[in-house]
Amino acid sequence: MPIRIDRLLITGAAGLLGSTLRHHYAGRFPHLRLSDRAPLGTAGRGEELVPAELRDAAAIDALFEGVDACVHLGGQPVEAPWPTVLEANIVGVINVWEAARKAGTKRIVFASSNHAIGFHPRSRRLDHTAPARPDSRYGLSKAFGEDVALYYANKHGISAMCLRIGSARERPIDERMLSTWQSLPDFCRLVDVALTADYVYEIAYGVSANPRSWWDNSRVEGLGYRPQDSAEAFAAELVGKVTAEPVNELFQGGPFCAPDFTGDMERIV
């Protein structure tokens, strides 16, 4: 049964994707609660602004009071040293799902990342059943978040869709993004489906209708996702725009693969 959302919480609401959703959902729910550690500006009609640190369990418990559904975008968004990843994306994710359990929140849409599967080679087509192959500490924390979501979905009935977001941004900027790009309107379309469809636990790819995509997104398309944009419009200017690192170019995670890399490229495949 689709869930009724009276109060929607968006974490990471000050970032690019958060502010895109803030705009997209303005006036769509009776209450829109927006949270971030960064400034959120002034509250619009129907908006509640609640600054919070993800590592602060008490603050996150308070943040979830009265929340029916959450889009969890907050956390460390790129590679970082362990202490940073640990606080924001491991402790933070535990705090979010525990708070949701205590508050009776019914659904969480989780901003996972393609870096949870970044060490799959580009020659491999992945669907929603593809196992994690993190390419970074950051990617590993996203894979952890996907499992936290699965655990709470099964154990406590908090439905969750984990979005393995490719490169969600205004426009693609290199050859890899001809495969991984998701336009901001398509990102909103995907979150619409994630909030409204009937499911318990799903993995979906955050990607536009790119002919060069490495991902089979038919599962979430079956739930209603219809991307309208394609990176191919940028192909003429971006083909050949690659990094100088072979390991980046072999794997789906691109530039997250080479930093700190001391492995054997051939044996990962």
What residues act catalytically? 138
Asked if 170 is part of the footprint of ligand 15L (rule: CB under 6 A), the reply reads: no
Handedness of CA 94, 54, 96, 151 (dihedral sign): negative
Size of the site for ligand 15L (CB under 6 A): 7
Tell me: does residue 167 bind ligand 15L (CB under 6 A).
Answer: yes
**Residue placing its CB nearer to ligand 15L in the complex, 105 or 180:** 180
Q: Which is nearer to ligand 15L, 62 or 78 (CB)?
A: 78
Which residue of 77, 173, 209, 242 would you call a contact of ligand 15L, by CB under 6 A?
A: 77
Interface residue with ligand 15L, options 11, 20, 114, 210 (CB under 6 A):
114
User: Which CA distances in Å does 215 have to 183, 211, 218?
Assistant: 16, 10, 9
What is the rounded CA–CA span in Å between residue 99 and residue 91? 12
Q: How far is the CB of 80 from ligand 15L (least distance, A)?
A: 11
- The label of the residue with tokens 């693969």 reads 257
Q: Rule CB under 6 A: is residue 248 a binding residue for ligand 15L? A: no
Q: Report CA dihedral (216, 151, 269, 75) to the nearest 10 degrees.
A: 90
Piece of 46-54, 97-105, 108-116, 203-211 that binds ligand 15L (CB under 6 A): 108-116
Could you tell me the two tokens for 229? 């944009």
CA 145 to chain centre: 10
Residue entry with tokens 């919070």 = 52
Binding site for ligand 15L (CB under 6 A): 77-78, 113-115, 167, 180
